[in-house]
Copies of this chain bind each other. A is one copy, B any other.
Amino acid sequence: MNDPMNATPSLAPRPQVEIALGARSYGIHIGAGLLESPASYAGLPRAAAALIVSNTTVGPLYAQRLAAALAPHYPQLHTLALPDGEAYKNWDTLNLIFSTLLERGCDRQTVLFALGGGVVGDLSGFAAACYMRGVPFVQIPTTLLAQVDSSVGGKTGINHPLGKNMIGAFYQPQRVICDLDSLRTLPARELSAGLAEVIKYGPIADMAFFDWVETHLDALLARAPQALAHAVQRSCEIKAAVVGQDERESGLRAILNFGHTFGHAIEAGLGYGRWLHGEAVGCGMVLAARLSQLQGGVDESFVQRLIALIARAGLPTVAPLLDANDNLGRYLALMRVDKKAEAGAIKFVLLDRPGSAQLCRVPDELLARALALHGARA
């Protein structure tokens, strides 16, 4: 029998959040100092080679420290720094990963480590899903947005000139390691963008968490470690509960896209990279909350409360003008290519009450009213 006093030190510590997806289950580890801790990597698949995929911003800050932690486990350790930004989430950048893997002779056991924000995670995860039809990968998200959003759910992919995230795969990582220390170097604008997704979880699923975020927003903006730890953990728990019931987004999972239908239209309409994803989602939540109010799901005071919180987080609350001649038409055209659309009908995630969301169609005239109330003037 095992002596509990002699427990093997190579076991990874218990993850803070478990994502239960049968054979594709994995853990999310949340804490300070995890990047350099050998325990963070215990129990992962071993292989002759590993590739650290990062970008030109995050790589210089953290790649060497990650490489030092991984070196004992992977004899051949390669690194690749992608160009930084949503504008590079495309085939050409994805192919940089494939070419690196093939040029270095990486085989089907090779483990990919995604070190960076959502773009690095989406690209690396999709590359892992496709390289030799699937190799293991580990996410090490270094932005708040990636820690509270893309670390759960296995959505990977790239943009197409005709639409965002149109090409991709559902592919689960082996593990997610959220080192809260990496948020110290995050620009303030990106911290705010991450808070948009944190704010999102309350209205769709947990108003007690919404209250908590309202109370602790200043601490979050000040990057207080304990506040960040709770925000990341609770966000991941809520997302995990939803994804666990609907891994491939056939129904319930769509509620996680509250604010995203407008958000994607804003990102595409302005040109990817002009607004951060979280900024577009923040503004999109204002419009989605307004539609919810117009449909009777929430009252005016809730809309104002949400707008106030989004604004306090440093996020935009006024929808940009996408076309001076036909702004509504432009929004509609962009939203019709949303992946939730069916046969040209746009579907919105709306609140049927604070803390609960569902997928609805909305008449065009309500969209016009929402944009008139919360959109920029020509």
Q: With A and B bound together, what is the CA distance between A37 and B108 in angstroms?
A: 42
CB 8 Å contact bits of A108-138 with B (1 = contact, 0 = none): 1100000000000000000001111110000
Q: Chain A at the B interface: mostly helix, strand, loop or mixed? A: mixed
Q: Is the CB of A131 within 8 A of B166?
A: yes
A366: Cβ under 8 A from any B Cβ? no
- Which residues from B are CB-within-8-Å of A212? none
Q: With A and B bound together, what is the CA distance between A167 and B336 in angstroms?
A: 30
Max count, chain B CB within 10 A of own CB: residue among A49, A98, A163: A98
Q: Is the CB of B95 within 8 A of A91?
A: yes
A324: Cβ under 8 A from any B Cβ? no
Q: With A and B bound together, what is the CA distance between A34 and B95 in angstroms?
A: 39
Which of A196-204, A238-246, A292-300, A341-349 is found at the contact surface with chain B?
A341-349
Tell me the count of chain A residues lying within 8 A, CB to CB, of chain B.
Answer: 38
CB 8 Å contact bits of A96-112 with B (1 = contact, 0 = none): 00110011010111000
Partner of A169, one of B49, B169, B249: B169
CB 8 Å contact bits of A283-301 with B (1 = contact, 0 = none): 0000000000000000000
Q: With A and B bound together, what is the CA distance between A98 and B98 in angstroms?
A: 20
A168: Cβ under 8 A from any B Cβ? yes
A162: Cβ under 8 A from any B Cβ? yes
Q: Is the CB of A129 within 8 A of B169?
A: yes
